[in-house]
Amino acid sequence: MAHEHKLEIFRGLLKFKSNTQKIWGVLVFLSIVTAVEVALGISKPHILVVNSFLGMKLLNWIFIILTLVKAYYIAWDFMHLRDEKSSLRRAIVWTPIFLVAYLIFILLFEADYIYNVFKDGFVTWDF
């Protein structure tokens, strides 16, 4: 069991007095991020929709990055990975990240290939 809590978030920018206070602080942060996501999802700023990076809209990149930020704070502060030994933390975090990145790479490339087969093939799909 981890007995001491590390009370700093944002790389020491924000330091809390107690663990309870840190939990509420993280909640406020996560709520703000969710609110930003929903606001962007409803307003869909034109500039973020028409421009894309690596075949995906900028808006979707923003969503994915904000999701990873949220995931980080849930894992680090709610699941208290911040207080665990770094060896345990690395084993838990990097194993899935490696496998999932590999899976996503393969599946999305394959899907894009099939999309092109549907599009450029001599078979009509819309009738």
Partner 1 sequence: MDSTVTTSTEESVWGGGNQPLGASYGKLMMWFFIVSDALTFSGFLASYGFSRFKFIETWPIADEVFTHVPFFHGNFPMYYVAFMTFILIMSSVTMVLAVDAGHKMMKNKAIIYMFLTIIGGAIFVGSQAWEWATFIKGDYGAIETRGGRILQFVQADTGERAALADFAKTIPSERVDHEMRNGVWFYKGEALPSYSLNEVTEGLKSNPNILIRTETINSEGEKTLLTREQSLAKIKDGKLVVEGANLIRNEYGSRLFADFFFFITGFHGFHVFSGVVINIIIFFNIILGTYERRGHYEMVEKVGLYWHFVDLVWVFVFTFFYLV
92 lines the binding site for partner 1 (CB under 8 A): yes
Give backbone dihedrals phi and psi of 41, rounded to 5 degrees, phi first: -65, -35
Max Cα distance, the chain (Å):
67
86 lines the binding site for partner 1 (CB under 8 A): yes
Closer residue to partner 1 (CB): 14 or 35: 35
Binds partner 1 by CB under 8 A, chosen from 15, 96, 120, 122: 96
Question: E strand or H helix at 89, and its extent?
Answer: helix 86-120
The dihedral sign for the CA sequence 15, 21, 26, 29:
negative
10 lines the binding site for partner 1 (CB under 8 A): no
Binds partner 1 by CB under 8 A, chosen from 10, 41, 45, 51: 41
- Residue 18's alpha-carbon distances to 41, 66, 71, 72, in angstroms, are 35, 26, 22, 20
Length of the chain: 127
Binds partner 1 by CB under 8 A, chosen from 58, 108, 120, 121: 108
63 lines the binding site for partner 1 (CB under 8 A): yes
Give the nearest distance from C-beta 93 to partner 1 in angstroms.
9
> Which tokens hold the place of 121?
């093939």
1 lines the binding site for partner 1 (CB under 8 A): yes
Give the nearest distance from C-beta 11 to partner 1 in angstroms.
14
60 lines the binding site for partner 1 (CB under 8 A): yes
Q: How far, in Å, CA of 26 to CA of 70, rounded?
A: 10
